[in-house]
Chain A
Amino acid sequence: MSRILIVLFWLALMPLPAAVGDEAADIAKVEAATCAGATVGQRLQEEIQSHSRRDLGWRVFVEDDHRDLERSLRISKAMEARYRWRIDAAGKIEPVSDAARQLCAPR
């Protein structure tokens, strides 16, 4: 009985690895994107260290034809900097928040 339950549990969770893997891949793709002469990941790290901010991590928002990835940095009790990028169905990445655009603006 316990073996049956284990198998059923395993089968129920089967779709998850692919979905989670997709999002991990999306985040890696965004972090590797070019941004102001460096990568998005490097520029975000600069923002965190130079302004002494707290990294609150990534969130993923899934819509029918695109996925939005947002990285939040805590500035103070009243403010978070939210950097958001969109990956469309074709895999193209573009910034969709002012913070993301400013992050990657030419310096």
Chain B
Amino acid sequence: MVLHLAPQRSRCLNNVIESRTAGPVKGEKMKFPVAMMRVLALSGLTWPVLAAPEGPNAADTAWILTSTGLVLFMTMPGLALLYAGLVRTKNVLSVMVQIFTATSLVSVLWVIAGYTLALTDGGELQAWIGGGKRLFLLGLKADSLNGNLPEVVYCMYHLTFAIFAPALMIGAIVERMKFSVTLWFTGIWTLLVYVPVCHWVWGEGWLARIGAIDFAGGVVVHTTAGVSALVGAWMLGPRRGYPRTLLPPHNLTLTAIGAGILAVGWHGFSAGSALMATGAAGMAMLTTHIGASVGALVWMAVEWRSFGKPTLLGALTGMIAGLGVISPAAGFVGPLGAIAMGTAAGVICFGAIHWIKRSLQIDDTLDVFPVHGVGGMIGTVLTAPFAAEALGGAGITTGLTIGQQTLTQILAVGSVAAWSGLISWLLLKILDRTIGLRVTPDQETEGLDVALHNSKAYHF
């Protein structure tokens, strides 16, 4: 008797059951995976042997690997350079070390518990938090799949977002927060704020179930980081001498380089969020670039009109505000929507900076809340009307009307802002009672580079 092996593939039976993190709908059970069949031929008789699923999409995988690198580059060193140039010479290294160590800390926490709690099936608690299926990423193998991608690529891509959010917050508390507090706050905030919100919106939690949409992170990244940054700046108190003493940026060339890295890397942030190498990603890339460009131009125009001269910092800030506003909408709106949203960024975020500083008198040092927080919130709400096909958008895919979608977006923004603010406040309150938030006045005067890190950035 001769055994013949004749592998056959049935494309219509392609299936990715094992890797789907969300799992099947509750109450329904799957019989068995129906996938490629490898048929054993024996004396003219055939029977199927279940083989592995077809595998990931190679083009998508290559693109998301690239996007992962781009988004990581946004933080290290993009954000590090952007922020470093904006502080005084005596605090340059402290900002950089905060961002670099926050990156490392969040990476480890993501592996331990972040990924599983954010993006796996939470069973009975699925509406609120994920489960423990991937604690320490156990069970995650090179050939595990998540839809069209290897799960490890999916995990790593999301990791770069988890890194970016707390790194953004650091901009509000520079030049006066203890390094140990930065680490504690960053780590615990990631687990208590970022991870649950990520699950609510991107892990098929309650916000996703009611139809809230967030393409690349207007709610998950910018609203959480922006609101928490504002709370942190408020609780920490202003820098010594603020607002009477002028505290200008020490090196705007560093800031410009950082902003440029951010802008280019943002294409991984937005276009990569399509999770596909398709025209949808291309459209997200286009709208991102337009949003940033219009934001820069409008901000510059408003500043020129308000203060008589346009500045580099204004153009860069407008560009970043445009990127923040377009983030939740990039894959849902068209070029016209991107122009409108970039304009909103240039006008509203500009006004928000002055409102925070003058009316609320909060020293959000590097304007994290007005640029990222307000930008993310505006963008999230404006996604609904500008996603309309009549305005060149992709249409509202949730089945809601524009009015319903707008209300859902407002609910998402409100609930996430409330959660972020409350948890941040509690966390900082506990840290203040235990180890104290601020450095001493002498340390602040001396500069955190020397006082906390025993180094100087410049030796002139």
Contact = CB atoms under 8 A, between A and B. Distances in A.
Contacts of A60: 30-31, 34
Contact of B148 (A17, A74, A102): A74
A24 B30 contact: no
A33 B448 CA distance: 69
A51 B14 CA distance: 21
B72 interface: no
A24 B10 contact: yes
Interface string A82-107: 00000000000000001100100000
A77 B47 contact: no
Contacts of A74: 147-148, 275-276
A78 B16 contact: no
Nearest to B328: A78
Interface in A1-33: 3, 6, 10, 13-14, 16-17, 19-20, 23-24, 27-28, 31
Q: How large is the interface on A (under 10, 10 to 19, 20 to 34, 35 or more residues)?
A: 35 or more
Contacts of A10: 40, 42, 45, 47
Given A3-B1, A62-B29, A78-B208, A13 B147 contact: no
Interface of chain A, helix or strand or loop or mixed?
Answer: mixed
B414 interface: no
Which of A10, A16, A78, A79: most chain B CB closer than 10 A? A78
B47 A76 contact: no
Contacts of A34: none
A43 B421 CA distance: 45
Contacts of A58: 12-15, 34
Contacts of A76: 215, 273-275, 280, 331
A35 interface: no
Nearest to B28: A61
A41 to B, nearest CB: 9
B47 A102 contact: no
Contacts of B403: none
Given A54-B148, A62-B31, A63-B29, A78 B202 contact: yes
B415 to A, nearest CB: 16
A52 B147 CA distance: 16
B399 A78 contact: no
A23 to B, nearest CB: 5
Interface of B: 1, 3, 10, 12-17, 20, 24-25, 28-32, 34, 37, 40, 42, 45-50, 54, 57, 60, 147-148, 157-158, 201-202, 208, 213-216, 272-276, 278-280, 283, 331, 394-395, 397, 399
